[in-house]
Structure 1
């Protein structure tokens, strides 16, 4: 099996111009770890099992687990209002936030804005971050719908600090990482190089070699996406959630493991997963539900899956944005081998529909400005169809599948397409909300 996995991983990395990757599979009581490539394009340092890769949003599963550990110890209750443990949210200027619960934040149903940032990206203070969030308001009534929020997980990091009287990083290391044998690494800290770190890369459409890019992540976003680790580490973490760890009941009791995995009310994670628990995504497969999380940064990807019914765990880390395409290839290959890995398949029609002749009708219904806190999307008509931009330089071509569902493909980088949809007013047929990458953005102007 190891030789076969190495062959498939190496071939897929070559096909998608991924300089380096790790793949770890735990199945039937045996763990197989394979690696390929180099840590930086054009370099000679090989990827090893010890190489750390930026995990992006997979970090959220770790933050959620520490929250669950605090709940197991009786330090918090998952149905507590988050403001009870984040005093900065108790400001009279933020009455909307007073009803938001920890459970809702964990499941992305708290109606918090998606991607709030401090003006100073180097500021790592979660106290100042939480105080700034107190001025943002809510998107809608908490608990009514899913909207993916980095902001919420940074607030959970602040709650961990408040409850433990430790920095988020120290709590993560002491309560979770070191007991699991994971050597922690935060790429944002340039002085922290306790293990080799893979460089991130972007790949342009139409081919060409991968180009190194700097990893950008605001320092105050560490609880939402700041961890780096390897595929072996992710499988160790998954085995804790599977109960396959000698200290599982001490580190994360079974009732809390079940609580994190259970589907959350209102968590319709369209475009991301088949459902959502508390910090864990749910993915359907022919063999039942898998749990896990995906992570992307500019120039890197991480994918984690585990299957409670069989005790199987799988992790992939890559140092290129095209790692999303590599992951899709590996899922298909493993399914051919009889391992039905859970992955989100939205079931779109095989081909997109061309825009109708009356483009003005499309413009009236869909084109406009959409906003979620500081995040804004602009949808515009284009000679080739519809295009979406977000003000950061991202431009994507939209392909409609039916009347409201679409796929968005970036024009500046070769990556897997995202799936999204327009939520329309039943009376008028006009779009009122754009859902993309799990984020819900309300239409503010046509």
Structure 2
């Protein structure tokens, strides 16, 4: 995308942000025992202020790392058993499948193996009872798999994990996280509420209108019940401090051994952009270092998406390295920028390069098996043959009925993108254009060999007849 040789971090960030038309970006790197920050652009195109290391962005699902760490803290204090059933702490938990409510464990929430769907499209308000009301709504949620049977990324699971924090501590989720983590670590530019940010400098999101022009979004962040799964706001300086904490600087909050356990694989991921495995919340991937030995290097991280804002946090523990990126533009802009910065930083500082797999040549027979519609509670994937009949496109859209019913602003849909199947017998695929460029997933078959679902970004979509 942008030439990386003979270029420093700030130069690369500025050039990449301008090329991708991202209004503002904040980057932090920890390498060689030093912090380096590169900030470029503005907080808002409507009311612009320069982005700096203390500018607060919405982190989206990077928030899951705070929720998981809070539960690990409670486990170290002997107040939570991660292997215990969730019902020990949330006895009112219920599902249509009664046994599932009995069987799901705390640990399964934290590595996405509880069998829960991605999201639950309800808004339970901004009061202190938001999480309790959210969990009550889960009584209507069908599972996509038996607990422990497979990994499938779930916001619902982490919101339920947040309710465990509330029940065990007797505090609201946000106050518990502040007392367990934010205050002891001195993270003064990290919080959950508008009041945490409005007296400081903060970025707003931007999405493209139908003509492709970026405009300021009006919903700054998700609902309160989604705080455990996606509600943290933070700055580059604080997020890099959070990364350093997880590299082993426990700062008296957690012992190094507990932090290391969070980075150990608990379940394998199949054909996923998220990683090769899941630890306790963290996504784990082994990539190739080309600096001197072509050895495999393990990365540990998490990404996050908000309404017109995107964040990335990546650790390389064996190299004592971390990179964090936050940007304030929609997926075709922000995601591409974040990925480019992380890729550049890994190569520039560590000589580490992740090789992107090449799709197979178009095969009409295999294409015929996967063409169709797949959906979950909120979104639909359409896999369609290209007009010329020599390729396929994939389109991911929020369901029209969800848009119609929503009282809040939802991000725009992405246009169809080209994609191809990958070598091997695992039914893997890769998106090769558009805002999802580089995303990998796979198709799921039943015992008879028929394709019954598709995974995208770790989320399961069932095939629609």
Q: TM-score per shorter chain, which class?
A: 0.7 to 0.9
- Structure 1 residues 336 and 72: CA distance shift in structure 2, 3 A: closer
Is 1:142–2:147 an aligned residue pair?
yes
Is 1:442–2:442 an aligned residue pair?
no
C-alpha separation in 2, matches of 1:39 and 1:331: 21
Answer with 104-113 or 90-99: which moved more: 90-99
Unaligned runs of 5+ in 1: none
Cα offset, 1:202, TM superposition: 2.4
Residue 270 of structure 1 is matched in structure 2 by 272
The superposition leaves residues 55-77 of structure 1 with CA deviations (integer Å, 9 ceiling, x where unpaired) of 01100001100010000000011
Residue 159 of structure 1 is matched in structure 2 by 164
User: Which of 324, 327, 345 is the equivalent residue of 2:335?
Assistant: 324
Answer with 270-279 or 156-165: which moved more: 270-279
Residue 299 of structure 2 is matched in structure 1 by 290
- Structure 1 residues 382 and 307: CA distance shift in structure 2, 3 A: closer
Q: TM-score, normalised by structure 2?
A: 0.83
- Structure 1 residues 94 and 374: CA distance shift in structure 2, 3 A: farther
Cα offset, 1:183, TM superposition: 2.3
Q: TM-score, normalised by structure 1?
A: 0.87
C-alpha separation in 2, matches of 1:23 and 1:305: 12
C-alpha separation in 2, matches of 1:386 and 1:431: 17
Q: Secondary structure at the match of 1:23?
A: strand
Is 1:388–2:390 an aligned residue pair?
no
- Structure 1 residues 335 and 243: CA distance shift in structure 2, 3 A: closer
- Structure 1 residues 88 and 375: CA distance shift in structure 2, 3 A: farther
CA contact (8 A) 2:117 2:156 kept: yes
The superposition leaves residues 217-265 of structure 1 with CA deviations (integer Å, 9 ceiling, x where unpaired) of 23211110011111211111111112225x2xx3112232122111013
CA contact (8 A) 1:379 1:389 kept: no
Q: Secondary structure at the match of 1:298?
A: coil
C-alpha separation in 2, matches of 1:125 and 1:35: 35
Q: Secondary structure at the match of 1:407?
A: strand
- Structure 1 residues 18 and 341: CA distance shift in structure 2, 3 A: farther
C-alpha separation in 2, matches of 1:416 and 1:434: 17
- Structure 1 residues 79 and 99: CA distance shift in structure 2, 3 A: same
Q: Secondary structure at the match of 1:89?
A: coil
C-alpha separation in 2, matches of 1:28 and 1:388: 42
CA contact (8 A) 2:54 2:238 kept: no
Cα offset, 1:409, TM superposition: 6.8
Unaligned runs of 5+ in 2: 1-6, 290-295, 401-411
Residue 172 of structure 1 is matched in structure 2 by 177
Is 1:314–2:318 an aligned residue pair?
no
- Structure 1 residues 335 and 151: CA distance shift in structure 2, 3 A: closer
User: Which of 331, 337, 353 is the equivalent residue of 2:348?
Assistant: 337
Q: Secondary structure at the match of 1:48?
A: coil
Cα offset, 1:135, TM superposition: 2.5
Cα offset, 1:319, TM superposition: 0.9
Task: State the superposition RMSD in angstroms.
Answer: 2.9
User: Which of 75, 87, 91 is the equivalent residue of 2:91?
Assistant: 87
Answer with 160-169 or 39-48: which moved more: 39-48
C-alpha separation in 1, matches of 2:286 and 2:45: 35
C-alpha separation in 1, matches of 2:99 and 2:38: 51
Residue 404 of structure 2 is matched in structure 1 by none
The superposition leaves residues 2-26 of structure 1 with CA deviations (integer Å, 9 ceiling, x where unpaired) of x921111111111111111111111
C-alpha separation in 2, matches of 1:378 and 1:251: 46
Cα offset, 1:284, TM superposition: 2.0
Cα offset, 1:79, TM superposition: 0.1
Residue 114 of structure 2 is matched in structure 1 by 110
Is 1:101–2:105 an aligned residue pair?
yes
Q: Secondary structure at the match of 1:348?
A: coil
CA contact (8 A) 2:116 2:144 kept: yes
- Structure 1 residues 338 and 239: CA distance shift in structure 2, 3 A: closer
- Structure 1 residues 171 and 12: CA distance shift in structure 2, 3 A: same
C-alpha separation in 1, matches of 2:352 and 2:26: 17
